Amino acid sequence: MPKRFITPLVTRLTVDRSTAPFISSSRPRLSWTASADGQWRQASALLRLTRGGLSTERRHDGPESVDVEWPFDPLQPRDDVAIQVQVVGSDGSRSPWSAPHSFGAGFLGDGEWQAEFLTDGAGPSRFRTEFTTSTAVARATLFATARGVVVAHLNGDRVSDDVLAPGWTAYRQRLTLESWDVSAHVALGVNRLELTAAGGWYTESYGFGDDHARYYGDEVAVAAQLHLEFEDGTTATVRTDESWSASSTGPLVSSGIYPGEEYDATRTWTGWRPARVAERGILPSARSAPPVRRQELVPVSRVLETPSGARVLDFGQNLVGRVRLVSRGRPGDVITLHHAEVLEGGELALRPLRRAAASDRYTHGGEGPEVWEPEFTFHGFRYVQVDGVDDLRADDYRAVVLHSDLERTGSFESSSPLLNRLHENVVWSMRGNMLALPTDCPQRDERLGWTGDVQVFAPTAAFLYDCDGFLASWLEDLALEQSAADGIVPVVIPWVIGWEPTEVAGWGDAATVVPWVLFERFGDRSVLERQAGSMRSWADRLRRRADGTGLILGGFQFGDWLDPAAPPEHPERGATSPDLVASAWYIRSLDLVARLDALLGAADSGYAADAAAARDAFRARFVAGPGRLTSDSATAYALAIAFDLVPGAAPAFGERLAELVRTAGYRITTGFLGTPLLLDALSSTGHDDAAVDLLLQEECPSWLYPVTMGATTVWERWDSMRPDGSLNPGEMTSFNHYALGSVADWMHRRLAGLSALEPGYRVVGVAPHVTARLDSARAELATPYGVAASGWSRQPDGSVRVECTIPTGTRGVVELPTGLVLEVGPGMHGWTL
């Protein structure tokens, strides 16, 4: 018989895991996915690079299709290229060439950045210049950055849909350089380039209570460089310098992240004068994370009248962004928007915002309707009180959802509407808190990159969205701030708090945990290589702190933050010893760094030996007897089980943990550090049913209690709102915090059964837990190799159907509820039990 060929098809091609028009590396990594019927396997691939009208091909041998090393000559600054791939199967089959993926090199060469930073002092400003072209432009690229946030216009056209550019990084060590293709905006003759800037995160005042200050500085500054390439082969450069003009008197009256924005359309930019050249500072580096963009428009769900007579728009969803409005007033009429997440007593609940005024103000400029949306701020809100409008029309208002432009990859659904809503709340909280960097909350006078929050949530985040590049960029800032703090990882990144940094367990350990999560979930070995120094530096800092005891004892700790047993004003005073928590995380980081060194082939630096010694010390200090710890709390046992702190004791600890859970009536008794480990600790010790009962509890404190109270995002506290509708009396109460939403990772991996058995899902685990309390559960994920899925459903005849999908080029290991373990190849599979 003639050999049967299976025709594969390349379905996706990315450069540095991105489809962005510009990349930041001269040797980017290439990844692609292929689909084919049957047991097709890639044997090789042809890669084609087209540059300047000339094509070059290279052969890549082997089955790997994720993070393939760049096989061509390095990209040069401002290169404009296209890449294609053709895969060849082990059966000799060959795919068509993929569609070309075009992109540019979003970086400049050594010494090419010559732009000066311009300033007009504090407050919003506009800068402008004119230049003349006499020859048609083949390509024009604008590079820009700011100490603040900036929008560029060329001949009146906004050049990019990026929002709040260049975002927030560790400004003292790293500043992002934006790259925008502006070719379509350049005209023959005179052109006008304008940059409008506001302070954004740079000039914001950070701190708590009365102890806050502007950490970076008072002055807004921008820098830009326009590279023009003409069709006749000549080039020209326009850059910010003393020849530009500046104005700080215009319609943008004021703007801040916490206060909000004021815009007066009766005003125009006036009082132009020569721009002042500011200190040049650090050299900006090309963007490596996705920019912030507008994601969707949400209409008003209903209009409410409060007991005081105010009118409030309810958008039906707690979200992050701002409001786009249509003003129908007369010149000088003012509309004021006040934002809040919840109502209390029928009025906007403003107390949780603390110092953040979160108010926008628009002054009508002309005779007809005018559309306005704030440009340089954002808010966390569901409700907006509108003042100054007599005829309030719901259709005149839309909520503009903002977040970093991450690709959605994972989904979950079950037979429980409450559980599905919980998962949707987790998604919305991630969306709202992944804006430029991973934050704790998006609404009050904080919005900081708390390391503990992202550490516990990273596994869930890596399933829901392709956040590899986003978190890798944040880790770069972490390493920079850590280096400045002599190896200590500050509790927020970027570091903008006036405290003296110290080693805080579960927060600083983001340095070791988050890179490992990105490796396990995305197969991104490069992030481990880049962060290796940071990971070791943190472990070494803890080693010095533990010298003489083998444990982390004493000193400041957050402990099991927001344990529901802790007093509202002292969330650090939970039921679990801070020393036990800190020592557990010390062992965890030592383990991860020892695994790192083994993976990278580094010399043995004693991390594994120190971890073993620390385990001995942990047993001696914290084990009270068989199956008992000195802190007899759910968090203590969850940590001991999850981190194997006392080898061989997990079964007994699991029994005690299950007993504590039952005794508490299946209500939550854990905080930020215990909660993400709790259900896994139960499942791994044979108590899946207890885990399910805990998950499905509806009484406070529980994951579903906020859902029964109408929550549309995850709350910071288990009881941020009390059953009577009053708010938690603590000074710190947010209704959009993703940390406690880390439970979604267990829902994906255990309830639906989808996990990565090898980094990047090269081997897909399928092991669903069938429970009598649900009729179905299913998870689906776009892995680096293609779509994987796992789930189960109860059939009308009482049988259970288990189904899974395994991507091309991978294999699956299936553990059925009967205990049978199978290995399967790519494709869709099903079993009726």
Could you list the active site residues? 446, 716
> How many residues does this entry show for the chain?
833
Please name the residue that has the structure tokens 């060929």. 5
Q: Collapse the DSSP code of 527 into the 3-class scheme (helix H, G, I; strand E, B; otherwise coil) and give the result.
A: helix
Q: Is 389 helix (H, G, I), strand (E, B) or coil?
A: coil
Question: CA 469, CA 461: separation in Å to the nearest integer?
Answer: 12
| CA distance linking residue 257 with residue 722, whole number of Å | 29
Containing H/E element for 471?
A: helix 468-484
Tokens representing 618 are 């942990």
Q: Are the beta carbons of 377 and 256 closer than 8 angstroms?
A: yes
Tell the burial category of 61 from Cβ atoms under 10 Å away from its Cβ (0-12, 13-18, 19+).
Answer: exposed
Euclidean distance between CA atoms 63 and 503, whole angstroms: 43
| 328: nearest Cα among 374, 388, 368 | 368
Give the closest residue to 194 by CA, choosing from 264, 244, 132: 244
Tell me how far apart the 2 most distant CA atoms of the chain are, in Å: 86
Q: What's the CA gap between 539 and 505, in Å, rounded?
A: 11
Rg (CA), the chain: 28
Q: How far apart are alpha carbons 380 and 552 in whole angstroms?
A: 37
Q: How far apart are CA 51 and CA 82, in angstroms?
A: 7
User: To which residue do tokens 């854990």 refer?
Assistant: 670
Strand 811-815 and strand 763-766: pairing?
A: parallel
Q: HEC states along 664-691?
A: CCCCCCCCCCCHHHHHHHHHHCCCHHHH
Q: Distances from the Cα of 453 to the Cαs of 228, 460, 508, 720, in angstroms? A: 44, 12, 11, 17
Would you say 581 and 645 are in contact if contact means Cβ atoms under 8 Å apart? no
The whole-angstrom separation of Cα 371 and Cα 355 is 29
> How many angstroms from the chain centroid is the CA of residue 622?
36
Q: What burial class does residue 482 get, using C-beta atoms within 10 Å of its C-beta: 0-12 exposed, 13-18 middle, 19+ buried?
A: buried
Candidates 493, 434, 455, 432; CA nearest to 735 is: 432
C-alpha to C-alpha distances, 45 to 66, 137, 586, 783, 815, nearest whole angstrom: 12, 37, 44, 20, 33
- φ, ψ dihedrals at 290, nearest 5°: -65, 145
Amino acid at 795: Q
CA dihedral sign of residues 209, 213, 216, 220: positive
DSSP secondary structure code for residue 207 in this structure: E
CA 506 and chain centroid, separation: 18
Distances in Å between the Cα of 401 and the Cα atoms of 293, 321, 380 are 9, 5, 10
> Rounded CA gap, 389 and 405, in Å?
34
Q: Is 7 helix (H, G, I), strand (E, B) or coil?
A: coil
Q: Is residue 246 within 8 Å of 273, Cβ to Cβ?
A: yes
Are 813 and 764 contacting, i.e. CB atoms less than 8 angstroms apart? yes
Taking a C-beta distance cutoff of 8 angstroms, is the pair 91, 70 a contact? Answer: no
Distance, first Cα to last Cα, the chain: 38
